């Protein structure tokens, strides 16, 4: 199996009949999925998602793919194909359309409905092309065909891309649930047909490649969810992804069976479920869903709430309930059902919410103590099944952390794929399909682009480091009045500290060090205020590290006496 190398340089020009594949996100991480295909002067983008920040990225709302590679070629983009409506596949679309609003968005009915609702908030009216399984459309140099795949959101699609360089099959996110709630199964007949035609490059979902066997069917969750509603003594509060239509349908069915009225809580939940209902993807019994204010008049054992916040997001409804920062007050006897998986990196935030809810008296039911969630991704058995059906010439695992990609590549080898034709790439690595062979040929920029409030790309690794330092080490402001003639302190400096443990005498010990440093600077003819500020900053920083093993941000202010 080929591995990326840190010394990779700029890729050479693409041969005339070659196909270039560049993942700008989604390789080595769970999220930010975006793959760019280049052929015959045209570009085709498959998905454009976001990655959610971890605790070491304070102040960041979401993380985007880096568009640098395609920024000078926006006019060459024929379309953005969206495989399904999850945020890690569509969340970055508004930011790409800011740079060229008329790029066609191609996707299924529900996927386009979700992205159009999101684009309203960005004041963008997109050009959309609705497709469904079985459709075949040409976009520039790319002849695309769409196939049904089963996932944790309705209307998911795989896409086959035909070019003169060969046939590519991109699964998107998928699994092989044989008893899906919507009876829409993964089109294995279509996969086999493409296999007969000859798949030159197979891009496969890697998320569950380490998990043996087959992913549990969604229908197997019904008894556990039903048990929660049957035994809960007071209110039931369900937290889920705002796009997980299948899971919400199961919850609505259980609430209806046990005589509970339901209200949706959270802007994205209300918006998405309204869209799913209007398009016929969500069936809501008459009178089941009511306004939140009406629920307040009902007995607690007749109430169910469905909200966002299953990943511990600080501003989502469930986190605010846990922090007592929401109109809904969690109390003794309430049951909270977390009907979702743990996205890697979110564990601490999720368990913090669970602990807070438990503290207020709630019984928290989650994947760790009940069978209330199944993955939307194919496990190892399903991936092997697909490899045996498709029999691809080359394989490029996608959508997963490094361990997932490697495990998926090993599965491909075990089914008979030549190890030299299994390409393990990471974000920014360029893979060229030429003469039926996929090889790594270079690397392009694919770093993190941070969205911080209304600012895109303003936050950098340096500014995030400063934020972490402020949070962990504190800040010390030093105001020093310096005699311009002698370079000596006119009076003892003032020290203003935040987040740095101190009392009135803490900084007395550093004053002699500042005096010595200023005296040395004066003897060397250094009197510029900026230089003196840097000198004071270094002196205080070194003293704080030696004395307290702390590294606060030091802000020096020199005033000419």
Average pLDDT over residues 27-42: 94
Average pLDDT over residues 365-388: 88
Residues in the chain: 561
Q: Which of 1, 40, 44, 29 is nearest to 160 (CA)?
A: 44
Q: What is the CATH number for 289? A: 3.40.50.10710
Structural domain contains residue 135: yes
> How many other CB atoms are there within 10 angstroms of residue 295's CB atom?
20
pLDDT at 322 over 90: no
Residues 403 and 358 in one domain: no
pLDDT at 315 over 70: no
Cβ neighbors of 27 (< 8 A, separation 6 or more) are 398, 399, 400, 405, 425, 426, 427, 429
Residues linked to residue 150 through DSSP beta bridges, in sequence order: 175
How far is CA 359 from its chain centroid? 29
Q: Which residue has the higher pLDDT, 516 or 60?
A: 516
Q: Tokens 């569509």 map to which residue?
A: 90
Q: What is the CATH number for 452? A: 3.60.15.10
Q: Which residue has the higher pLDDT, 1 or 15?
A: 15
Residues 249 and 176 in one domain: no
Count: domains in the chain: 3
User: Domain boundary at 456, 490, 520, which?
Assistant: 456
User: Domain boundary at 423, 456, 489, which?
Assistant: 456
Question: How far, in Å, CA of 88 to CA of 64, rounded?
Answer: 10
Helix, coil or strand: residue 405: helix
The encoded tokens of residue 59 equal 């102040």
Residues 478 and 444 in one domain: no
Structural domain contains residue 370: no
Average pLDDT over residues 397-403: 95
Question: How far, in Å, CA of 508 to CA of 196, rounded?
Answer: 80
The dihedrals phi and psi of 250, each to the nearest 5 degrees, come to -60, -40
pLDDT at 2 over 60: no
Give the pLDDT confidence score for residue 520 in this predicted structure. Answer: 85
pLDDT at 345 over 80: no
Structural domain contains residue 2: no
pLDDT at 113 over 90: yes
Residues 203 and 225 in one domain: no
pLDDT at 488 over 80: yes
Give the pLDDT confidence score for residue 305 in this predicted structure. Answer: 92
pLDDT at 310 over 70: no
Share of the chain above pLDDT 90, in %: 55
Q: What is the pLDDT of residues 526-542, one digit of tens each?
A: 778 888 888 888 898 88
Residues linked to residue 438 through DSSP beta bridges, in sequence order: 433
Question: How far, in Å, CA of 556 to CA of 495, rounded?
Answer: 10
Residues 32 and 162 in one domain: yes
Structural domain contains residue 93: yes
The dihedrals phi and psi of 499, each to the nearest 5 degrees, come to 75, 10
Residues 330 and 284 in one domain: yes
pLDDT at 149 over 60: yes
Average pLDDT over residues 46-72: 82
Structural domain contains residue 191: yes
Q: What is the CATH number for 489? A: 3.10.20.580
Most confident of 425-429, 520-524, 544-548: 425-429
Q: Which residue has the higher pLDDT, 315 or 431?
A: 431
Residues 108 and 237 in one domain: no
Q: Tokens 């926006």 map to which residue?
A: 74
Q: Is 542 exposed, middle or buried (0-12, 13-18, 19+ CB in 10 A)?
A: middle
Residues 115 and 50 in one domain: yes
Average pLDDT over residues 436-443: 95
pLDDT at 3 over 80: no
Average pLDDT over residues 228-247: 90
Residues 190 and 268 in one domain: no
The encoded tokens of residue 60 equal 């960041």
Q: What is the CA radius of gyration of the chain?
A: 28
User: Domain boundary at 428, 456, 484, which?
Assistant: 456
Give the pLDDT confidence score for residue 373 in this predicted structure. Answer: 75
Confidence band of 100 (pLDDT split at 50, 70, 90)? very high
Average pLDDT over residues 235-251: 89
Residues 187 and 75 in one domain: yes
151 within 8 A of 177, measured Cβ to Cβ: no
Mean pLDDT of all residues belonging to the chain: 89
- Of 269-283, 287-301, 337-351, which range is least confident? 337-351
- Of 86-100, 394-408, 448-462, 534-548, which range is least confident? 448-462
pLDDT at 312 over 60: no
Q: Which residue has the higher pLDDT, 145 or 483?
A: 145
> How many other CB atoms are there within 10 angstroms of residue 538's CB atom?
13
Most confident of 173-187, 364-378, 483-497, 501-515: 173-187
Average pLDDT over residues 185-213: 97
Structural domain contains residue 332: yes
Structural domain contains residue 1: no
Average pLDDT over residues 270-280: 92
Residues 100 and 186 in one domain: yes
Q: Which residue has the higher pLDDT, 237 or 59?
A: 237
Q: Tokens 């969604």 map to which residue?
A: 218
Confidence band of 411 (pLDDT split at 50, 70, 90)? very high
In sequence order, what E strands does 346-493 have?
A: 363-365, 395-398, 429-434, 437-443, 449-452, 455-456, 475-482
Question: How far, in Å, CA of 244 to CA of 332, rounded?
Answer: 28
Confidence band of 327 (pLDDT split at 50, 70, 90)? confident
Helix, coil or strand: residue 540: helix
Give the pLDDT confidence score for residue 278 in this predicted structure. Answer: 93
Please report, for the chain, how many H helices and E strands are present, in that order: 16, 25
Angle between helices 380-390 and 402-414 (to 10 degrees): 50
326 within 8 A of 336, measured Cβ to Cβ: no
Structural domain contains residue 462: no
Range of the domain at 335: 218-365
Residues 183 and 239 in one domain: no
pLDDT at 390 over 80: yes
């Amino acid at each position: 199996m080929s591995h990326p190398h840190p010394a990779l340089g700029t890729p050479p020009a693409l041969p005339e009949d070659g196909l270039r594949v560049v993942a700008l996100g989604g390789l080595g991480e769970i999220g930010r999925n975006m793959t760019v295909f280049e052929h015959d002067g045209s570009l085709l983008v498959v998905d454009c998602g976001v990655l959610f920040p971890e605790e070491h990225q304070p102040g960041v709302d979401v993380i985007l793919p880096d568009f640098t590679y395609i920024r000078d070629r926006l006019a060459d983009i024929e379309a953005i194909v969206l495989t399904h409506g999850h945020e890690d596949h569509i969340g970055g679309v508004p930011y790409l359309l800011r740079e060229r609003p008329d790029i066609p968005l191609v996707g299924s009915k529900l996927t386009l409905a979700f992205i159009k609702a999101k684009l309203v908030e960005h004041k963008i009216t997109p050009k959309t092309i609705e497709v469904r399984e079985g459709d075949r459309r040409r976009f520039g140099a790319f002849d695309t065909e769409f196939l049904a795949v089963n996932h944790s959101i309705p209307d998911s699609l795989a896409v086959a891309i035909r070019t003169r360089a060969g046939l590519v099959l991109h699964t998107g996110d998928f699994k092989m649930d044989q008893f899906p709630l919507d009876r829409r199964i993964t089109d294995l007949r279509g996969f086999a047909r493409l296999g007969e035609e000859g798949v030159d490059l197979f891009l496969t979902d890697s998320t569950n490649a380490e998990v043996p066997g087959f992913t549990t069917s969604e229908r197997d969750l019904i008894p556990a969810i039903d048990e929660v509603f049957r035994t809960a003594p007071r209110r039931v509060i369900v937290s889920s992804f705002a796009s997980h239509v299948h899971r919400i349908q199961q919850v609505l069915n259980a609430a209806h069976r046990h005589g509970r009225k339901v209200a949706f809580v959270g802007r994205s939940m209300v918006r998405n479920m309204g869209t799913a209902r209007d398009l016929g993807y969500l069936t809501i019994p008459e009178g089941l869903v009511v306004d939140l204010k009406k629920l307040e008049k009902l007995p607690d054992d007749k109430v169910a709430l469905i909200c966002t916040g299953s990943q511990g997001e600080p501003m989502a409804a469930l986190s605010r309930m846990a922090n007592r920062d929401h109109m809904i007050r969690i109390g003794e006897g309430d049951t909270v059902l977390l009907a979702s998986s743990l996205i890697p990196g979110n564990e601490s935030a999720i368990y913090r919410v669970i602990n807070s809810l438990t503290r207020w008296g709630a019984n928290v039911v989650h994947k760790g103590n009940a069978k209330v969630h199944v993955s939307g991704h194919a496990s190892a058995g399903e991936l092997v099944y697909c490899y045996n059906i498709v029999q691809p010439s080359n394989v490029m695992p996608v959508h997963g952390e490094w361990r997932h990609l490697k495990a998926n590549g090993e599965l491909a080898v075990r089914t008979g794929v030549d190890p030299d034709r299994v390409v393990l790439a990471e974000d920014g690595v360029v893979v060229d399909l030429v003469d039926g062979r996929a090889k790594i040929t270079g690397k392009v920029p694919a770093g993190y682009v941070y969205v911080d409030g209304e600012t895109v790309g303003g936050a950098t690794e340096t500014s995030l480091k400063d934020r972490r330092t402020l949070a962990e080490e504190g800040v010390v402001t030093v105001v020093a009045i310096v005699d311009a003639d002698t370079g000596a302190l006119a009076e003892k400096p003032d020290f203003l500290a935040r987040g740095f443990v101190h009392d009135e005498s803490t900084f007395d010990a550093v004053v002699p060090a500042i005096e010595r440093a200023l005296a040395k600077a004066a003897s060397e003819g250094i009197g510029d205020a900026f230089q003196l500020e840097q000198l004071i900053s270094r002196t205080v920083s070194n003293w704080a590290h030696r004395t307290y093993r702390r590294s606060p941000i030091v802000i020096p202010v020199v005033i000419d006496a």
